[in-house]
Structure 1
């Protein structure tokens, strides 16, 4: 058995793990990163990036196909054809390019990368099964960044026609019909993409509405577009089982049969907190998540944990920020988790972005001021022929502190940075109102919403 030692061992090469390793390398820390699969983890290889590639392809196809049936502003197409194989090859090329880029960045930071399945012997040592045999790694400090995986339903085990989100992103043929179990962001993003490519889609949601983490005003434009795309949405419905192309769904005391060539199960993700010998370390837990403090310490000295394995929100950018922080802590810097803003984005059509508190959460703290500005009154949105949705700003009653910012509309994911910056910097409504926003842009809606909250709207 080969043995190596290092100051920092990072287990998991996803967004949190590789960022932690790169930053540690930049700071001169002798670092080893262990990853079983491709660098980049779920997000880059089978999640965020490939799903956004599929969403882009679907939108392009849908736009061209729609222009053949319903000309827009004098633009008419002669129709569209779609080749799934070519789309998947293009998507895989993007993933490969980015994963290779991560590898290059790790090499630049002088991080040693070991590919293989690791198992903890104790809080300082890991045994890695590699193609060349077992590798024994001893470290002064360990970072657990093992991520998460899709939740499997007992009544719908993954395999064959029952797909996880991972399997849905590697199909070799478009299904004619698709049932999506779960009305959260993953199910809706992929369901809408397949519908735009011509698949007949049914959403089966156990609760009374889609995207339950957000308020109904924010999610209503998404529901309306689901219906415009011909997607059937079943609420208060429970998937009971699948056989012979039929998904059995319990709803309102009866069993409905949904014809579906494939079933996509997207009911959430669970942390990989009991794999790789982690359970044997006997770390303190928060349910199924590893318990951490404001510096990402676990209950064992010298062992940190970051990313999805540590709890909600399961977001790649949260993991990245944690990874950077931990690397600096290991280097001796004074750091702790003090971020006020954590953007959340849903890449449905239209997109949804939220930073800070929602209206009911803000109201629970005291009196608030809430104002929104519709994209229907925004020149850029109208000229883009995509004027659904709005920007909403929530502040304390005096407008001294912005508590939350949300938007729903075409392309609003790109607002996440400005919204987060406003909260992180402690901006007031007056600060936003005093900031000149370029015209014509969709970003003017943020400016106008702030003006409206101050009682001096200009364009509404």
Structure 2
């Protein structure tokens, strides 16, 4: 059976469904192809269920601060891990309803199955051969797991972890990127004995060395962290022996959070004859998402990029406009880079990373939240903010932080970069007292001093 369409969208995750919304503005001659399970990665096994886990852990952890507030008997609180996991699954179902309904509305324009290229214009899904003028590949990615580890019952990725009926007594977390750091801390606070491993010496996508130092100090005070060596997993009666070097730890289960692999690798893309990297990922224009001069566009983490949900949605829109819009292929401006890890304190990065800076042309300002008064009142007085600015233009260019409420601060500061604001202009913004944002103002004052010739009292603009 041959089916001819103007646009074929492969994948019904965040990027694919956003592409669908855009494409449907211009044509109804399209199909969406997806093998399941339905719902986005974010809703099923990514940022949404992990935040539900973190919320339970954060609220339970507050019991240590309650006596200081004069609230007694906090030691009587305890965790019902079955209820924790039950709520996560209930929320996961709710978060997945929107994507599921979007697929159901497509009716005959939705094809269930795995897509495989037969040429740059032809895709096979089972017995159906689809001839498409344009193809949007938004197949997403899946957690990486070696064949050996995958054969062990009890070694999981986030795809399986949130299906657990109850929390294990002990767990090894392998891979301390954002997901690993979040889950390791949350489980430790919920009473799980956690030992965490990271092959690299640096944690959580943190690039600023001062933030990296304090992150290791904070998190290693809550659970064991082993880094800088490869990890070995062996089965034992009732669990696993996990370790790097001579140190071995016995745990009930193992959670691997060490990276993701594009689902494109199973789609026979080489048959298209289009350019690919040595690892088999199509080479495409990052501003148009087009592969060469073909009708194929790569969106979301199918392109083997570090991808946040809002970035995936943006790429779905770009691919949709370029595949079906009336103006042909165009280049689109991207948002200010923004990344948040929901640990406690939270980790956030915006704008330029530390490793992208020309240090000779950059001023760096900082503020220690250990001395921030509102944070002290709330029992959250810990962490560090580091802000970067261009020495010539005096504009904010980026920053990293390890502080409470970083999810809000990073958005506010990314907005300042988007608006091209100088440090002088930012300090004139209304900082209310007492708020956590005053800690940002302290960092801006310090940054102004590093820029030279500016003191806090000189920031008032002339009328």
C-alpha contact (below 8 Å) 1:246/1:257 kept by paired residues: no
Hey, what does 1:385 align to over in structure 2? Answer: 379
C-alpha contact (below 8 Å) 1:18/1:40 kept by paired residues: no
Distance 1:84 1:199, change over 3 A: same
Query: Which has the larger displacement, 332-341 or 198-207?
Result: 332-341
In 1, the alpha carbon distance for the partners of 2:13 and 2:433 equals: 39
Instruction: After TM superposition, give the deviation of residue 417 of structure 1 in Å.
Output: 2.5
Specify the SS of the correspondent of 1:437. Answer: coil
Hey, what does 1:176 align to over in structure 2? Answer: 169
C-alpha contact (below 8 Å) 1:26/1:109 kept by paired residues: no
Hey, what does 2:403 align to over in structure 1? Answer: 409
Hey, what does 2:50 align to over in structure 1? Answer: 51
In 1, the alpha carbon distance for the partners of 2:196 and 2:442 equals: 35
Distance 1:158 1:319, change over 3 A: farther
Instruction: After TM superposition, give the deviation of residue 201 of structure 1 in Å.
Output: 0.8
Partner deviation per Cα, 1:109-154 (whole Å, 9 max, x = no partner): 999433332233333333334xxxx444332211001111112235
C-alpha contact (below 8 Å) 1:354/1:407 kept by paired residues: yes
Partner deviation per Cα, 1:178-197 (whole Å, 9 max, x = no partner): 11222222221111111111
C-alpha contact (below 8 Å) 1:207/1:237 kept by paired residues: yes
In 2, the alpha carbon distance for the partners of 1:342 and 1:141 equals: 29
Cα RMSD (Å): 2.6
* Match 1:371 to one of 350, 365, 373: 365
* Match 1:291 to one of 283, 287, 290: 283
Hey, what does 1:192 align to over in structure 2? Answer: 185
Partner deviation per Cα, 1:374-399 (whole Å, 9 max, x = no partner): 32343432222111113221011135
Map residues 92-103 of structure 1 onto 2, 5 A cutoff: 92-103=89-100
In 2, the alpha carbon distance for the partners of 1:401 and 1:49 equals: 34
Instruction: After TM superposition, give the deviation of residue 353 of structure 1 in Å.
Output: 0.7
Q: How many pairs are equivalent?
A: 445
In 2, the alpha carbon distance for the partners of 1:398 and 1:368 equals: 9
* Match 1:240 to one of 229, 232, 248: 232
Hey, what does 1:89 align to over in structure 2? Answer: 86
Distance 1:127 1:388, change over 3 A: same
C-alpha contact (below 8 Å) 1:25/1:109 kept by paired residues: no
Hey, what does 2:420 align to over in structure 1? Answer: 426
In 1, the alpha carbon distance for the partners of 2:418 and 2:103 equals: 29
Distance 1:421 1:30, change over 3 A: farther
In 1, the alpha carbon distance for the partners of 2:376 and 2:27 equals: 52
In 2, the alpha carbon distance for the partners of 1:81 and 1:116 equals: 45
Specify the SS of the correspondent of 2:333. Answer: coil
Map residues 43-442 of structure 1 onto 2, 5 A cutoff: 43-64=42-63, 66=64, 71-76=67-72, 77-104=74-101, 112-129=109-126, 134-153=127-146, 156-157=149-150, 159-211=152-204, 213-229=206-222, 231-244=223-236, 245-251=239-245, 255-288=246-279, 289-293=281-285, 294-299=287-292, 301-330=294-323, 331-333=325-327, 335-339=330-334, 341-364=336-359, 366-442=360-436
C-alpha contact (below 8 Å) 1:31/1:111 kept by paired residues: no
In 2, the alpha carbon distance for the partners of 1:75 and 1:287 equals: 60
Instruction: After TM superposition, give the deviation of residue 302 of structure 1 in Å.
Output: 0.6
In 2, the alpha carbon distance for the partners of 1:187 and 1:221 equals: 17
In 1, the alpha carbon distance for the partners of 2:278 and 2:76 equals: 52
Query: Which has the larger displacement, 92-101 or 208-217?
Result: 208-217
C-alpha contact (below 8 Å) 2:396/2:417 kept by paired residues: yes
Instruction: After TM superposition, give the deviation of residue 371 of structure 1 in Å.
Output: 0.4
Instruction: After TM superposition, give the deviation of residue 277 of structure 1 in Å.
Output: 3.3
In 2, the alpha carbon distance for the partners of 1:111 and 1:452 equals: 60
TM-score normalised over the length of structure 2: 0.87
C-alpha contact (below 8 Å) 2:49/2:92 kept by paired residues: yes
In 1, the alpha carbon distance for the partners of 2:128 and 2:413 equals: 45
Specify the SS of the correspondent of 2:43. Answer: helix
Specify the SS of the correspondent of 2:386. Answer: strand
Distance 1:386 1:50, change over 3 A: same
Runs of 5+ consecutive residues of structure 2 not aligned to the other structure: 450-454, 458-463
Partner deviation per Cα, 1:156-210 (whole Å, 9 max, x = no partner): 3354121112222222232211112222222211111111111111112223342
Partner deviation per Cα, 1:310-344 (whole Å, 9 max, x = no partner): 13223222211111112222313464143262111
